[in-house]
Amino acid sequence: MLVLSRKRDEKIVIGAGQIVLTIIEVRRDKVRIGIWAPQFGVVRSEVLEDGMRPGPPPPSDGTGLLVLSRKKDEKILIGDNVDIMVVDIQGDKVRLGIEAPRDVTVHREEVYIAIQKKANQI
């Protein structure tokens, strides 16, 4: 599991930009996370029965942002193979654990932008 710390308005980019997580708000015991993942189903882990994963997403124009509140140790499941878990909340910072296949990249937004800029210069 990759664990990244983020503050309000900071983002994590998963894959080639197909999934973007934005920290909307960090409270004492809860974090609100904005999820942009138009190609994937997204659900809170507790709404699924054992072993189930989210099905395909409903039709969308790709502009919507799903916002979910999570507490420590709660998960969000995205598509068939990406799990996001709130590992810790301290002050204005949240630590998210991300489980994804090895071939799926996970970057802090600022690193993703730097990689994209470098790729466009070549």
Residue count (the chain): 122
Higher pLDDT, 44 or 6: 6
Q: Is the pLDDT of residue 88 over 60?
A: yes
Among 13, 16, 55, 62, CA closest to 38: 62
Residue 62's pLDDT is 57
Average pLDDT over residues 88-112: 95
Q: Residue ranges of the domains in the chain?
A: 2-121
Burial of 38 (0-12, 13-18, 19+ CB in 10 A): middle
Top-confidence range, 43-47, 54-58, 63-67, 89-93: 89-93
The pTM for the full model equals: 0.85
Residue 99's pLDDT is 96
Q: Is the pLDDT of residue 2 over 60?
A: yes
Q: Is the pLDDT of residue 120 over 90?
A: no
Among 19, 105, 22, 116, CA closest to 62: 19
Q: Where are the alpha helices (DSSP H) in the chain?
A: 109-121
Render pLDDT for 29-42 as a digit per residue (tens, 0 to 9).
999 999 999 888 88
Residue 53's pLDDT is 64
Among 99, 78, 96, CA closest to 87: 96
Higher pLDDT, 44 or 60: 44
The span from the CA of 34 to the CA of 41, in Å, is 14
